[in-house]
Structure 1
């Protein structure tokens, strides 16, 4: 894939950019802002999650929508991932073209164009699954003639998708089981929007009750797939789903774990609760330049909402680079982001126009989509690879 003037952060005004000799990001081939991925942190995170799932006897289908970067998806598959999770048929199409052999669409699919394609690819041997939470979803899937593999989804009050209650779950499951061309493969849910551990456990226990109810009614296969688990509560998923062992096969779907972060997931990762099982390391950072110090205690940085996530917390400042020297820096707060500017409040910190700052980010799921090409760097910030994203 060509990297040239169209790739933000790479400085290639005339000829395509090339990675000859593992160039430093500070060597003139890049401009600011620039998001990079730390190779060693990613490798450690991938290994940590693979080992964690093996220890607990569960399958891992990380959510590809976090990165949509083939280099990272391949690394997770090579480490033993069962497959990949996506949010949309379009993302499923990307993964099909990338050669991912097993995909779970964690949503209901109602578009007849997409459903027809899924049925065709399933008939050709692709191992693809998606969710339903309504009779309308079952009817739309059945209209293709199949074959399609279905997971019925249980939700919770105030949550996202998923039927509300076990009666509705059984009703949808019976419709799937009765529809020609559809295979009821299991049950799924998502606990990530619940704020407290008791609420998470209560919801997951209800989901287990639902699995047992459908199994008792003869609606599920001998060993159904049961899936849940975002990046904040996957330890509770494993704990509460243990009641189903060995009659069910559990899939967890943490997507943010591959890069982790310095904000939202730094405080919410399960490895805060069970540190002996982790840790994960923040692998994403953005380098940006101080553009102005227009008044005492205020600095303006050339990085904004086009470059950094802001939906689940603002970036944090870790280091300053000046005249080639790197130093840790504190007493700085990010106040807000505009489209292309970040406002910093600082006390005793020494900031000057032209300083480079290293930022950690919060919520990787809304970071990758802002960058077409992302350098992968070693710990000296030399470029060892480039990730390409498909959003």
Structure 2
């Protein structure tokens, strides 16, 4: 797949810019009928305001996005790590472009369907934080690699059997370029990944012997082993990262990285990237051919829940991030004292890492603070308790877990300032889930 001459920063900017010419219609639940028939550019030129949009609604805050983008890029530069943000968080090519423009070295994805989206927008460097074993998908990927010498992708393996299946599928597809793979290290009770170093070495040797594969490093996901920032949770992360270092040293001593132009050691979601940098960057200092790559993705939108509490930058590792995500829902019923029903629920806002958090009520003079809590959500409703609201009021909600927020919206309005008396819509972010 050939990219256009405007494919700077690892993505085809023309294809991203073309999203602004998409015509709005009933497919986009964030856009009111007044915007239908217009392109994104034409609609934004009308100067739409938040109060002209319907509810329920999910929005992004432009200033918070810019702050988070700059903050994480600066942190990574200071820490001496590369950033390949997990694009599956947003599946938004315009946001991927912003991350690449800010210095990200690649985009991380989780599967072949996400990779097809990335290729449709000319993304050149991709980390697949998963194993790829689907023969049809591997045949497509082999053709992509053979057709575009500038396209770089690496994926994971965690067994000799997965190496065999991947190599067989690629040989059957007539692949010419070798596929770069990393040995994935896991841990007890975690997700995928080799559980012991001896097995990891056997997997690495199988890759080294496979004619269509090339071993370029190791990786894993520390947050699969814990879910909090307690001393015990942080110790679990530290032990895992120490084993990752040990695995690198074992495979390097065995000469198994001899085909890699650059050795990759990758870990780090959005919860423990400070520990990843602290424990893994000594490898890069000791070995000039090695890159430490973080895959943090939730940092860009951040949240008012799980990541607000657990982010290293909320625990003293640097300047805190800001939540760019807000839900907006209208009070449609007060069926009994102390209970109000909002018109947004599971289909609109994330709920797997905490329920939406009532923050304020929008009125003609701006926002007023709101107490109370959401006790439950149904598909289309949220149960708001203990709040002084009236039927028709619009409530601003903080949400938790960006990874299950973006997937509910095909188009997300970006506001100039979600806290202003009358926020204006300054952009529309297109997602592809």
Q: TM-score, normalised by structure 1?
A: 0.96
Measured on the aligned residues, the alpha-carbon RMSD in Å equals: 1.4
The ranges of structure 1 where at least 4 consecutive aligned residues each deviate by more than 4 angstroms after the TM superposition are none
Q: Is residue 82 of structure 1 aligned with residue 105 of structure 2? A: yes
Query: Which whole-Å deviations, capped at 9, do the CAs of 1:177-231 have from their partners, x for residues lacking one?
Result: 1111211010001001232000000011001100000000000147410000011
Which sections of structure 2, spanning at least 5 residues, go unmatched?
1-21, 227-232
Q: Which residue of 2 aligns with 1:149?
A: 180
Q: Cα offset for 1:267?
A: 0.3
Q: Is residue 243 of structure 1 aligned with residue 282 of structure 2? A: yes
Q: Which residue of 1 aligns with 2:346?
A: 305
Q: Cα offset for 1:14?
A: 8.4
Q: Which residue of 2 aligns with 1:181?
A: 212
The aligned length equals 385
The CA distance in 1 between the partners of 2:272 and 2:56, in whole Å, is 33
Q: Cα offset for 1:33?
A: 0.6
The alignment partner of 1:300 has SS state of strand
Q: Which residue of 1 aligns with 2:82?
A: 59
Conserved? CA contact 2:81–2:281, under 8 Å: no
Q: Is residue 99 of structure 1 aligned with residue 99 of structure 2? A: no
Conserved? CA contact 1:301–1:343, under 8 Å: yes
Which sections of structure 1, spanning at least 5 residues, go unmatched?
none
Query: Which whole-Å deviations, capped at 9, do the CAs of 1:237-260 have from their partners, x for residues lacking one?
Result: 111113312212100000100100
The alignment partner of 2:133 has SS state of coil
Conserved? CA contact 1:3–1:373, under 8 Å: no
Q: Which residue of 2 aligns with 1:226?
A: 265
Q: Is residue 36 of structure 1 aligned with residue 73 of structure 2? A: no
The CA distance in 1 between the partners of 2:425 and 2:281, in whole Å, is 43
The CA distance in 1 between the partners of 2:251 and 2:345, in whole Å, is 49
The CA distance in 1 between the partners of 2:367 and 2:303, in whole Å, is 21
Q: Which residue of 2 aligns with 1:135?
A: 160
Conserved? CA contact 2:24–2:35, under 8 Å: no
Q: Is residue 334 of structure 1 aligned with residue 374 of structure 2? A: yes
Conserved? CA contact 1:141–1:148, under 8 Å: no
Conserved? CA contact 1:300–1:344, under 8 Å: yes
Q: Is residue 377 of structure 1 aligned with residue 415 of structure 2? A: yes
The CA distance in 1 between the partners of 2:95 and 2:74, in whole Å, is 17
Q: Which residue of 1 aligns with 2:37?
A: 16
Query: Which whole-Å deviations, capped at 9, do the CAs of 1:108-157 have from their partners, x for residues lacking one?
Result: 01101111122222222210110011112211221213420011100001
Q: Cα offset for 1:324?
A: 4.8
Conserved? CA contact 2:128–2:154, under 8 Å: yes
The CA distance in 2 between the partners of 1:326 and 1:149, in whole Å, is 52
The CA distance in 1 between the partners of 2:364 and 2:335, in whole Å, is 21
The CA distance in 1 between the partners of 2:303 and 2:182, in whole Å, is 31
The CA distance in 2 between the partners of 1:24 and 1:13, in whole Å, is 12
Q: TM-score, normalised by structure 2?
A: 0.87
Q: Which residue of 1 aligns with 2:309?
A: 267
Conserved? CA contact 1:225–1:250, under 8 Å: yes
The CA distance in 1 between the partners of 2:382 and 2:314, in whole Å, is 30
Q: Which residue of 2 aligns with 1:294?
A: 335
User: Relative to total residues, which structure has the larger helix share, 1 or 2?
Assistant: 2
The CA distance in 2 between the partners of 1:272 and 1:324, in whole Å, is 32
